[in-house]
């Protein structure tokens, strides 16, 4: 057998063989063994793949872990998950008050190995002295987020990769106590990551002690259903609805919530209703992606639906579509900003009804890359407003929160129940809005017009630049900082705010905010979960008729989009 010619291959091969020796998964052991054979045979592609897997480690950050399932420290697998569980357990034990036992609740969705990773986590954490509770079956992410608070545990873990490609999986971490069930933020992420690395450097997986875990009672799910159903308003109509779970875990829980809230069972996209880790009908299981909702639109045309509702695979996101004669499909998916503004308006009206003339009673919050229209709503209803860094780990922490959203189809409508985005409760809130409009003889399209009349037209667009080499993203950000543009798409730049050192009370973040003449805004940042550079564009017009406002805002957004595509090319 030939030997590798690159001296660094020898070191990687030794690491790979040591990995196989501790890996409890026969599938990843076999595929890594095959890769080793390729390297020993002189296959340069195999050498590059081995380097990619072993030269770096999958980073544990504020989004937890997320990556493709395969062997090696830069992939998702049972070795990495066991190390993560042991590291998180060490962190929880260190933080626990003297004489107390820390606790964790663990959930999992329908992706490949989600159940395996969840059981491994429960056993390893139990072996490390943590009371470990496993949810009774595969369930949506919002149920896990709810369980952290409901069971009053120290932490929560959700095994999911949300809407990532089929072969990905991930590991979200929530904290109880003073964090109130929100996802981790700095410095907890770095502290947990350090303990995970200590485990990886000092122990093998077979050496990690394992213990017995508990299984949560069905009453946890029952209580989530009961409390979520309270997000619905009283209604006298039953809109015709089509629902898809996008091959994920949302339908069982969604069906129970709809029934508890008094809504009829929707027409289903049967091909996508059951959990399926292969996601056979979609190239990318994300309702935002082109073509992902084609089957939903086809079903909607069959039943003449007034609303299409889609969850992503772990049901923490919501997409909705409404009839649109101008669309080739007969339906138009609303943007995340449109849904967020309508739900924010609904939440503000509810808050005002409770407070009357007593002044602000709560806050609306959204990420800095989401529509500024939410602040206009807060001002109109005398509510506080907070713009946070991207992610519900930040939005959920806004003081006095009554509603929060981010443009990536994430909505938090019931902060007293779940401190994370929740596609099920958001769907119920939106369905309540549709029923209310229907009872008054109006449609969602009418309501969007009413929004423009009252708050102006807030138009938006997004540009995503997918890269094969992450260094490319850093190069573009460095170029924009070194040579900031004087104009974008013919619109003069008033100032550029660099959030890398913190700005306006926000924690430091790799974000550039370009403020333009006329109140338009462009945000540029690397994606936190995918190899993409993301550009967010917002413009507003409050002059003229509804049609004139839309035309003006749309023209500004189009010009800015063309200009930014040139700048980041």
What is the Cα–Cα distance from 110 to 138, expressed in whole angstroms? Answer: 6
Q: At what angle do helices 444-455 and 546-567 cross, to 10 degrees?
A: 80
Structure confidence at residue 411 (pLDDT): 98
Q: Which residues of 516-554 are buried (b: 16+ CB within 10 A; e: fewer)?
A: beeebbbbbbbbbbeebbbbbbbbbbbeeeeeebbebbe
Structure confidence at residue 122 (pLDDT): 98
Q: Which residues contact 403 (CB under 8 A, 6 or more apart)?
A: 343, 344, 347, 348, 364, 365, 411, 412, 413, 415
- Determine the average pLDDT of the residues in 56-85: 93
DSSP 129-162: T-EEEE-SS---HHHHHHHHHHTT-SEEEEE--T
For residue 503, name the pLDDT band (cuts at 50, 70, 90). Answer: confident
Q: At what angle do helices 26-40 and 7-22 cross, to 10 degrees?
A: 160
CB 193 within 8 A of CB 87: yes
- Determine the average pLDDT of the residues in 154-160: 98
Structure confidence at residue 91 (pLDDT): 98
Q: Do domains 218-455 and 456-567 have the same CATH topology?
A: no
What is the Cα–Cα distance from 197 to 200, expressed in whole angstroms? Answer: 5
For residue 2, name the pLDDT band (cuts at 50, 70, 90). Answer: very low
Strand order from edge to edge, sheet including 532-541: 457-466, 532-541, 521-526, 512-516, 491-498, 487-488
Tokens for 550, please give them: 């839309």
Encode pLDDT of 336-388 as tens digits: 999 999 999 999 999 988 765 555 579 999 999 999 999 999 999 999 999 99
Structure confidence at residue 36 (pLDDT): 97
- Determine the average pLDDT of the residues in 455-474: 91
Residue 51, burial from CB neighbour count under 10 angstroms (0-12, 13-18, 19+): middle
Tokens for 215, please give them: 């299984």
For residue 119, name the pLDDT band (cuts at 50, 70, 90). Answer: very high
Average pLDDT, the chain: 94
Structure confidence at residue 1 (pLDDT): 33
Beta strands in 328-445 (DSSP E): 331-333, 363-367, 384-388, 401-406, 410-412
Residue 4 has pLDDT above 90, yes or no: no
CATH class of 59-217: alpha beta
For residue 7, name the pLDDT band (cuts at 50, 70, 90). Answer: low
What's the predicted TM-score (pTM) here?
0.94
Strands 512-516 and 491-498 turn out to be antiparallel
Query: Facing residues of 541 across strands?
Result: 457
Structure confidence at residue 529 (pLDDT): 67
The CATH number fitting domain 456-567, selected from 3.40.50.150, 3.40.50.300, 3.10.350.10, 3.30.310.50: 3.30.310.50
What is the Cα–Cα distance from 331 to 319, expressed in whole angstroms? Answer: 12
- Determine the average pLDDT of the residues in 389-401: 94
Residue spans of alpha helices (H) in 96-231: 114-127, 141-150, 188-202, 219-229
Q: Which helix (H) or strand (E) holds 216?
A: none
Encode pLDDT of 423-446 as tens digits: 999 999 999 999 999 999 999 999
CA dihedral over 546, 409, 435, 363, signed as positive or negative: negative
- From 77-91, 260-274, 411-425, 460-474, the region with the lowest mean pLDDT: 460-474
Single out the residue of 66, 67, 65, 70 nearest to residue 23, CA to CA: 70
Single out the residue of 463, 513, 462, 518 nearest to residue 490, CA to CA: 518
What is the Cα–Cα distance from 370 to 150, expressed in whole angstroms? Answer: 30
More confident site: 502 or 331 = 331
Strands 401-406 and 410-412 turn out to be antiparallel
Residue 3 has pLDDT above 70, yes or no: no
Encode pLDDT of 124-148 as tens digits: 999 999 999 999 999 999 999 999 9
Q: Is 460 a catalytic residue?
A: no
Structure confidence at residue 505 (pLDDT): 83
The radius of gyration of the chain's CA atoms, rounded to the nearest angstrom, is 24
State yes or no: cis peptide before 187, omega within 30 of 0: yes
Report helix, strand or coil for 244.
strand
Among the listed residues 47, 162, 182, 541, the single catalytic one is 162
Tell me which CATH code domain 218-455 carries: 3.40.120.10
Looking at the chain, the whole-number percentage of residues with pLDDT higher than 70 is 97
Domains of the chain, by residue range, sit at: 1-55, 59-217, 218-455, 456-567
């Amino acid at each position: 057998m030939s030997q590798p010619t690159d001296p660094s291959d020898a070191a990687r091969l030794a690491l790979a063989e040591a990995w196989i020796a501790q890996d409890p998964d026969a599938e990843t052991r076999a595929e890594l063994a095959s890769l080793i054979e390729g390297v020993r045979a002189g296959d340069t592609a195999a050498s590059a793949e081995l380097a990619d897997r072993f030269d770096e480690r999958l980073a544990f950050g504020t989004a937890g872990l997320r990556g493709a399932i395969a062997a090696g420290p830069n992939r998702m697998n049972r070795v990495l998950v066991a190390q993560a569980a042991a590291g998180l357990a060490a962190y929880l034990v260190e933080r626990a008050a003297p004489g107390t036992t820390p606790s964790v609740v663990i959930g999992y969705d329908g992706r490949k190995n989600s159940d395996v990773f969840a059981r491994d986590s429960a056993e390893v954490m139990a072996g490390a002295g943590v009371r470990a509770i496993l949810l009774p079956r595969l369930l949506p992410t919002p149920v896990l987020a709810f369980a952290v608070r409901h069971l009053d545990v120290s932490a929560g873990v959700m095994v999911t990769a949300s809407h990532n490609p089929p072969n990905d999986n991930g590991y979200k971490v929530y904290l109880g106590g003073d964090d109130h069930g929100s996802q981790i933020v700095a410095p907890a992420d770095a502290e947990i990551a350090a303990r995970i690395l200590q485990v990886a450097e000092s122990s093998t997986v077979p050496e990690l002690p394992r213990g017995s875990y508990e299984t949560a009672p069905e009453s946890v799910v029952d209580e989530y259903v009961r409390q979520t159903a309270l997000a619905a308003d009283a209604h006298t109509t039953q809109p015709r609805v089509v629902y898809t779970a996008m091959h994920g875990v949302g339908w069982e829980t969604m069906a129970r919530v709809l029934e508890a809230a008094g809504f009829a069972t929707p027409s289903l996209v049967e091909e996508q209703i059951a959990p399926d880790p292969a996601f056979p009908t979609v190239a990318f299981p994300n309702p935002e992606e082109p073509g992902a909702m084609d089957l939903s639109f086809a079903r909607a045309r069959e039943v003449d639906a007034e609303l299409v509702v889609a969850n992503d695979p772990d049901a923490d996101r919501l997409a909705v579509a409404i009839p649109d004669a101008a669309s080739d499909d007969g339906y138009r998916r609303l943007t995340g900003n449109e849904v967020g503004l309508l739900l924010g308006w609904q939440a503000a009206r509810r808050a005002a009804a409770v407070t009357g003339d007593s002044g602000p009673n709560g806050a609306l919050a959204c990420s800095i890359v989401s529509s500024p229209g939410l602040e206009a709503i807060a001002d109109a209803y005398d509510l506080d407003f907070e713009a946070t860094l991207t992610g519900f780990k930040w939005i959920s922490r806004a003081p006095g929160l009554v509603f929060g959203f981010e443009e990536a189809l994430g909505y938090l409508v019931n902060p007293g129940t779940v401190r994370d985005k929740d596609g099920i409760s958001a769907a119920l809130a939106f369905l309540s809005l549709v029923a209310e409009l229907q009872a008054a003889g109006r449609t969602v399209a009418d309501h969007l017009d009413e929004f423009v009349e009252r708050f102006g037209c807030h138009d938006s667009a997004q540009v995503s630049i997918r890269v094969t080499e992450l260094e490319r993203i850093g190069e573009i950000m460095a170029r924009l900082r070194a040579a900031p543009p004087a104009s974008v798409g013919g619109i003069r730049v008033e100032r550029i705010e660099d959030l890398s050192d913190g700005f306006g009370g926000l924690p430091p973040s790799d974000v550039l905010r370009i403020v333009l003449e006329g109140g338009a805004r462009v945000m540029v940042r690397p994606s936190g979960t995918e190899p993409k550079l993301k550009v967010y564009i917002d413009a507003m017009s409050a002059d003229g008729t509804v049609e004139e406002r839309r035309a003006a805002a749309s023209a500004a957004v189009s010009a800015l989009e063309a200009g930014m595509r040139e700048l980041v090319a």
